[in-house]
Amino acid sequence: MHDSLNITSPSPDMRHRAHFAVSGEVRFGPLYYVLSVDDYRFGQRIFGDAHLWSPASDLLAVQEWLTLDYSAGPITALLLIDVVQRRETTLAQATKRFLVPERFEGSALVYREEHAGQAVVKRFDLADVQEWKPFAQAQS
């Protein structure tokens, strides 16, 4: 794939950088990417291009793809990355739907669950996060 299709997204304070490098393309569908944040690479995990930095630049919400199997998917997860404490957590997972981060609103993340041209807006209170995984543990 051509490098011009890669996405580099600096945080609002310009201290952090997310880089989405094209990994492939779903047949008749969107591109998918491998992700690195600052100096950390998320291995061979795959991501869509949907992402959102928090206003404070400490959190990055991304859409992780859990399968490329056309008949089973899409299966996506809404992944929240804490770039300061170098950890991650999965906020939501959906089958046959895309989860798209929309905005940070106080202590919540608002996102869309998209399916067949329709979207449902949902909200996750970040105080309800049960388990954070350090980057090194999360990659395996």
Handedness of CA 17, 55, 88, 97 (dihedral sign): negative
- Tokens at 110, concatenated: 């608002």
**Domain harbouring 20, CATH code:** 2.130.10.120
> What is the number of other CB atoms lying within 10 angstroms of the CB of residue 99?
24
Beta-carbon count within 10 A of 138 CB: 19
Predicted structure pTM score = 0.92
Q: Using CA atoms, how far apart are residues 97 and 126, in angstroms rounded to an integer?
A: 22
pLDDT at 46 > cutoff 70:
yes
pLDDT value at 140 more than 50: no
**Bridge partners for 98 per DSSP:** 114
Burial class (CB in 10 A: 0-12, 13-18, 19+), 51: buried
Query: How many domains are there within the chain?
Result: 1
Residue 139 scores a pLDDT above 70: no
Please state the rounded mean pLDDT for residues 61-67. 96
Among 17-21, 65-69, 127-131, which is the least confidently predicted range?
65-69
The sign one gets for the Cα dihedral 140, 18, 52, 11 is positive
pLDDT at 137: 61
Range of the domain at 109: 3-138
